[in-house]
Each structure stands twice: as C-alpha cells, then as structure tokens.
C-alpha cells in the first residue's frame, strides 16, 4: 500500500502497479490521485532565461539570485514534504527572507485558528468512528477531496456508527450551488446567496440560542434542531465559506461556541498545506506571511498578493506551486517583472516565465518523506519508483550549503 | 444582393455575476497536462442557468466574451445541468476565471476569487488559449 498526494486526505490505502519503472495503474485512488501518480506528460527541464541548461548551472544561478536579492520571497511549499518545508524555513531564516505559502489566499485563516486552539477539532478517524451529523459548508468534497465521504465521513461503518449513512449519519450541505456533495445530502441542502454565509451564521446562532431567526425562519429552525441533537458533529469548512466570511472570520468561532458537540475540520486541497502551516507556526507562532529579520515578523504586507502589489520583494523562489495560474491576472505583471526561480516536477505556467527552472522529483512517487493530513495526522509518503530527479529536500540542502 | 446587417451589429451585453468551483475532471486533466485540450475544455467554459441563458438568448456551445476592468476572455457557454435558480453563473477555478479577478484585496492578501462581476456577450472569436494568457508575461532575460 502506498500514499497518494492528490489532496490533503493523503489516502494511504493505494495499490500501485509498476511496470518498467512507471506506474501503470492504481487501485483505490480517485481520478485526481490516479492522474498525479501516473505523472504529467510534460516534465520540467533545467533552464536559465528559458534556455535549457544542466541542473548544476540552474542551482548555481539560483544561488546567485537568492544571495543577491535585497528582499526575496520563498513561496509555495504545499506540495513539498515536511522535511523540505523545514529546510525551506531554515533557508528563509538564513536569507532574512519573506516566506509565504498558498494558504495565504486559501485556508490560512482557518488553520491559524485551529492551531491557536480557538476552534475545536478532531481527527478524521474520530469522524469515521463517531460522527452522526456532517455539515459540508462551502465545500464540495466530492470534487476536491473525492474520497472524504467514502473513507471517513458519510458512507463508512464506524465503531459507534455501524449502520452508516442509511440510519446512523446525516449529511448536510450549505452552499451557493447544488454541488455534487450537495446532491448526496438529499433533503438537507441549504442554498445561500453568494456572500450570504455571514447572515446565515448569524441567523443560525439566533436559532441555536432559542430565538426566532428572521432569515428563512422555517429552514433555520429545522437546521438548528438537527445540529442540537447531534452526539458528535463535524463542520467541514470549505474554501467557499472561508472566502465568504474572510472579513469577519471570528464569527465562525461564535458559531462553534454554540455547538459544543461539533468539531471543525479544514477542507484542505494541497496535500501538505497543513504541514507547512504547522511547521511555521511552531517556529514563529504564525502560519504564513512571515519576514525573518532579527525575529519573525508577521504582517499582511508579507502575503504574496500584497508583496507583489506593493513591490516590496525583488525576487521570488517558488517551490511546487503555480502562482501564474492561481493568482488574479492584474498582479501577474508584477510577478513576471522580478527574477523568478521555479522548482517543480512539471512544466507550469510559472515555469514558462521563470528566470531559472529546477526540475524535482514527484513526491510520493519518486521520493518519500512525510506530510500532515488535513486533520493534523502525520502520514508517511512512499517512494514507488526510482528517477534521476532530485527531491525538493535535496535541492534545499544544496541551497543551504551554498549560502552558508 | 442581400446584406447581412447582423454582422455589423454588436451583440447585446449583459451584466453577469460569476462564482467559481472545483471539478474533479478538470483537476485530473490538470495533473496530466495543464497545457492540454482537455484542461482547456473544462476550464474555458461558463455554466449558466437555463433561465439566464434564455434571457440572454444564448445556447449551449455558443462562444461568449466575458470582460471586466481586470481582463477579458472568450469561453464556451453551457446550460447548467442542475436546476439552478439563476442570477449566478459558474466557472471552474482556473487561469481563465482568474483573468477576471481583481488584484485589490484591501490590503488583506485574499482576492475575491469567487465573487466576480463582469459583462457577457455572444462572440464569434476563438476560445482564449492558455498560451494567450501567458504571452503577455513571457520574457527573454532579466539581469540579476
């Protein structure tokens, strides 16, 4: 059995059938996981100024860039092992660099509050064994973490839930669209308007407090009734909810306080976002957006978005991320106007504009290590086939060695 | 000889609100080949409710231009499979949808990826390619 790195569920029950040192087939993996394990069609090659070169030259050029930059950002990290992340953080400290990851514009707000213990949480195994009420809020797990419902939440027979979804579990979806997950939550789909989550939460808090909410009174009282009866509930917070309440995120804490039998689970996409957030939190007390000087300084201005808008970084090294694909178009010119080092197994939009590219091994396929699942559990990653590509961790070792 | 006056008329423009979502088939296509046809097909598309399609005189497979002050793209329109009430259209999160997202985060660092206001009109132009989205940013060399 091997581990899939398709998402932060880190499914460790995958069978990989290897033929001629390639993964020919996988069993148990979802569509995304299977595709990731089989590999991309376009592997990255080392390059400088978009001209192919050898890996040693790419590493030397990267050392030049990171040494000479006045203020460099080290960005990405969510598709790297815990070991590579730890070395990346060490590199940032040595360089007095800004360090940020994709949680900066994803689930960072939520994971920060979970690590600060402001929100109650539990393990996915607890959910499988005990949960009776499951709330998918702004989360379409069926498309983003496709085995969530089958491995951990709705469908399995758990220790205290031997009758599974037929009798023992109730799934609820709260969303702006009838997602594939919402279709499974038959009869318990609550459609809300775009950016309507805050109003919905306020009304739900009223209903849970015994008041009559003005907002969709009947449905709200019905929902409050189901939640109150839960013995062990879970709210799966998707990016839809996080984005919608980002200006007033602590409203989620107020709701959680009204639901003592519920736990909050961050629905994380990238397989090791939580790993990076935990490592940086342990080191600095913050999950992202940190600048290392004499001490670690955390500020929104050190987010990748604001750093590019404010032009306060003069180079960027990107590890396992494709910000040219995932950031808003208006700021891409700012990204493309500074030296970019791109470390990735595959050709990406970012690699196409990078000053230097360094190809790396596909973690979980060509190199092993560890990662942190969305619920905080440490999971071992497998090395399934051999390749000549350097793991991220080894690239970090080379950079650390070169600057010391 | 008759003259096709229609081709000189600009297609009517409608205001549209768009949110984004994730799609497992698009994610699978991205893992395999971000520059492939399949990824483009799933990404360069907008799903609109039946009621809104009728209001705007659109049908599935029509090409549409979606523009706002942040960017402009040509994608394929398709009628939403589910019984959506209208007023909100859907795109799978991708570099195409991100072309329409504001870079202004009010200093907070999180863009409004899922809350896009734009204008939509029928178009006869080709669907925007990923290469077109990158071309602007391609560069030869930067001296360090």
Nearest to A282 by CA among A302, A296, A266: A296
Residue given tokens 């750093």 in the structure block: A307
- Our CA-based measurement puts residue A214 at a distance from the nearest CA of chain B, in whole angstroms, of 22
pLDDT tier at B11 (50, 70, 90 boundaries)? Answer: confident
CB proximity list for A293: less than 8 A, separation 6 or greater: A96
For residues A256 and A235, give the distance between their C-alpha atoms in angstroms, rounded to a whole number. Answer: 9
- Our CA-based measurement puts residue B30 at a distance from the nearest CA of chain A, in whole angstroms, of 8
Residue of A nearest to B19 (CA): A194
Residue of B nearest to A353 (CA): B138
Nearest to A356 by CA among B142, B135, B137: B142
Question: Edge to edge, what strands does the sheet with A133-137 contain?
Answer: A189-191, A170-175, A133-137, A233-237, A262-266
CB proximity list for A305: less than 8 A, separation 6 or greater: A104, A105, A327, A331, B103, B105, B109, B110, B111
Q: What is the pLDDT of residue B67?
A: 98
Who among B82, B112, B137 is closest to A336 (CB)?
A: B137
Residue given tokens 């979980």 in the structure block: A364
For residues B118 and A51, give the distance between their C-alpha atoms in angstroms, rounded to a whole number. Answer: 39
- Our CA-based measurement puts residue A206 at a distance from the nearest CA of chain B, in whole angstroms, of 27
Nearest to A353 by CA among B111, B95, B142, B128: B142
Q: What are phi and psi of A93, to 5 degrees?
A: -65, -45
- Our CA-based measurement puts residue B133 at a distance from the nearest CA of chain A, in whole angstroms, of 9
Lowest mean pLDDT among A85-94, A247-256, B76-85, B132-141: B132-141
Q: What is the pLDDT of residue B139?
A: 57
- Our CA-based measurement puts residue B32 at a distance from the nearest CA of chain A, in whole angstroms, of 4
Residue to substitute from A70, A104, A329, A341, interface B, most B β-carbons within 10 A: A329
Q: What tokens does A17 get?
A: 């059938």
As beta bridge partners, residue A237 has A137, A266
pLDDT tier at B5 (50, 70, 90 boundaries)? Answer: low
**Is residue B42's pLDDT more than 50?**
yes
CB burial string B32-70: b at 16+ within 10 A, e below? bbbbeeebbebbbbbbbbeebbeebebeeebbbbbbbeb
Residue given tokens 């950002």 in the structure block: A73
Q: What is the pLDDT of residue A164?
A: 87
Taking CB atoms and an 8 Å cut-off, how many pairs form between chains A and B? 172
Who among A35, A104, A330 is closest to B102 (CB)?
A: A330
Residue of B nearest to A42 (CA): B33
Who among B19, B111, B141 is closest to A194 (CB)?
A: B19
Q: Collect all residues of chain B within an 8 Å Cβ-Cβ radius of residue A198.
A: none
Instruction: For chain B, give every domain's residue range.
Output: 12-135
- Our CA-based measurement puts residue A76 at a distance from the nearest CA of chain B, in whole angstroms, of 15
**Is residue B128's pLDDT more than 80?**
yes
* Regions in chain A scoring below 50 on pLDDT: none
Q: Collect all residues of chain B within an 8 Å Cβ-Cβ radius of residue A137.
A: none
- The string of pLDDT tens digits covering residues A97-146 is 999 999 999 999 999 999 999 999 999 999 999 999 999 999 999 999 99
**Pairwise CB contact (< 8 Å): B22 & A140:** yes
Nearest to B28 by CA among A349, A351, A30: A30
**Pairwise CB contact (< 8 Å): A176 & B115:** no
Q: Collect all residues of chain B within an 8 Å Cβ-Cβ radius of residue A336.
A: 137, 139
**Pairwise CB contact (< 8 Å): A325 & B36:** no
Between B85 and A338, the more confident residue is A338
Beta strand spans in A290-377 (E): 290-292, 296-298, 315-319, 340-344, 356-359, 369-372
User: Other CB atoms closer than 10 Å to residue B2's CB: what's the count?
Assistant: 4
pLDDT tier at B142 (50, 70, 90 boundaries)? Answer: very low
For residues A361 and A391, give the distance between their C-alpha atoms in angstroms, rounded to a whole number. Answer: 5
- Taking the model in full, what pTM does it have? 0.95
For A36, A358, A373, B13, the CA distances from A370, given in Å and listed in that order, are 17, 22, 10, 52
CB burial string A267-296: b at 16+ within 10 A, e below? bbbbbbbbbbbbbbbebbebbbbbbbeeeb
Which domains, from first to last, does chain A contain? 42-102+271-363+391-403 (3.40.50.740), 108-266 (3.40.228.10)
| Range B12-135: architecture per CATH | Beta Barrel (2.40)
- The string of pLDDT tens digits covering residues A224-272 is 999 999 999 999 999 999 999 999 999 999 999 999 999 999 999 999 9
CB A271 within 8 A of CB A261: no
**Is residue B3's pLDDT more than 60?**
no
Q: What is the pLDDT of residue B84?
A: 85
CB A15 within 8 A of CB A28: yes
Q: Collect all residues of chain B within an 8 Å Cβ-Cβ radius of residue A247.
A: 108
For residues B132 and B134, give the distance between their C-alpha atoms in angstroms, rounded to a whole number. Answer: 5
For residues B71 and A333, give the distance between their C-alpha atoms in angstroms, rounded to a whole number. Answer: 13
């Amino acid at each position: 059995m091997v581990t899939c790195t398709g998402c932060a569920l880190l499914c460790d029950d995958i069978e990989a059938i290897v033929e001629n040192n390639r993964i020919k087939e996988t069993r148990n993996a979802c569509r995304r996981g299977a595709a990731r394990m089989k590999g991309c069609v376009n592997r990255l090659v080392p390059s400088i100024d978009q001209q192919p070169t050898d890996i040693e030259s790419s590493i030397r050029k990267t050392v030049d860039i990171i040494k000479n930059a006045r203020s460099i950002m080290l960005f990405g990290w969510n598709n790297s092992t815990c070991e590579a992340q730890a070395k990346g953080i060490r590199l940032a400290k040595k360089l007095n660099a800004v360090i940020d990851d994709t949680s900066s514009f994803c689930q960072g707000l939520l994971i920060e509050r979970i690590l600060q213990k402001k929100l109650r949480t539990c393990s996915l195994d607890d959910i499988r064994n005990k949960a009776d009420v499951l709330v998918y809020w702004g989360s379409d797990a069926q498309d983003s973490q496709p085995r969530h419902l089958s491995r951990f939440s709705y469908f399995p027979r758990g220790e205290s839930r031997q009758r599974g979804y037929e009798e023992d579990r109730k799934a609820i979806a709260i969303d702006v669209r009838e997602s594939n997950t919402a279709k499974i939550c038959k009869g318990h789909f609550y459609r809300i308007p775009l950016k309507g989550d805050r109003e919905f939460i306020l009304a739900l808090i009223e209903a849970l407090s015994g008041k009559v909410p003005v907002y969709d009174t009947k449905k709200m009282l019905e929902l409050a009734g189901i939640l109150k009866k839960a013995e062990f509930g879970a709210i799966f917070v998707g990016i839809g909810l996080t984005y919608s309440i980002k200006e007033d995120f602590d409203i989620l804490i107020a709701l959680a306080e009204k639901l003592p039998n519920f736990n909050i689970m961050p629905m994380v996409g990238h397989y090791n976002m939580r790993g990076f957030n935990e490592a940086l939190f342990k080191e600095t007390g913050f999950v992202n957006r940190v600048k290392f000087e004499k001490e670690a300084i955390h500020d929104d201005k050190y987010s990748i978005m604001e750093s590019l808008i404010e032009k306060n970084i003069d180079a960027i090294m990107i590890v396992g991320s494709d910000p040219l694909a995932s950031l808003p178009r208006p700021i891409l010119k700012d990204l493309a106007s500074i030296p970019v080092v791109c470390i990735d197994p595959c050709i990406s939009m970012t690699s196409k504009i990078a000053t230097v590219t360094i190809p790396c091994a596909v973690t979980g396929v060509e190199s092993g290590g560890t990662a942190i699942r969305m619920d905080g559990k440490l999971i071992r990653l497998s090395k399934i086939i051999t390749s000549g590509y350097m793991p991220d961790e080894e690239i970090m070792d080379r950079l650390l060695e070169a600057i010391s | 000889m008759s003259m096709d006056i229609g081709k000189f008329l600009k297609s009517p423009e409608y205001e549209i609100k768009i949110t984004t979502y994730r799609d497992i088939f698009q994610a699978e296509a991205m893992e395999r080949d971000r520059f492939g046809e399949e990824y483009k097909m799933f990404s360069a598309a907008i799903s609109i409710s039946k009621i809104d399609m009728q209001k705007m005189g659109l049908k599935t497979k029509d090409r549409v231009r979606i523009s706002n002050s942040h960017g402009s793209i040509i994608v394929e329109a398709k009628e939403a499979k589910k019984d959506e009430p209208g007023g909100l259209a859907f795109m799978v999160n991708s570099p195409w949808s991100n072309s329409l997202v504001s870079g202004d985060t009010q200093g907070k660092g999180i863009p409004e990826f899922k809350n896009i206001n734009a204008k939509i009109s029928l178009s006869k132009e080709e669907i925007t390619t990923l290469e077109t989205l990158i071309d602007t940013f391609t560069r030869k060399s930067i001296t360090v």
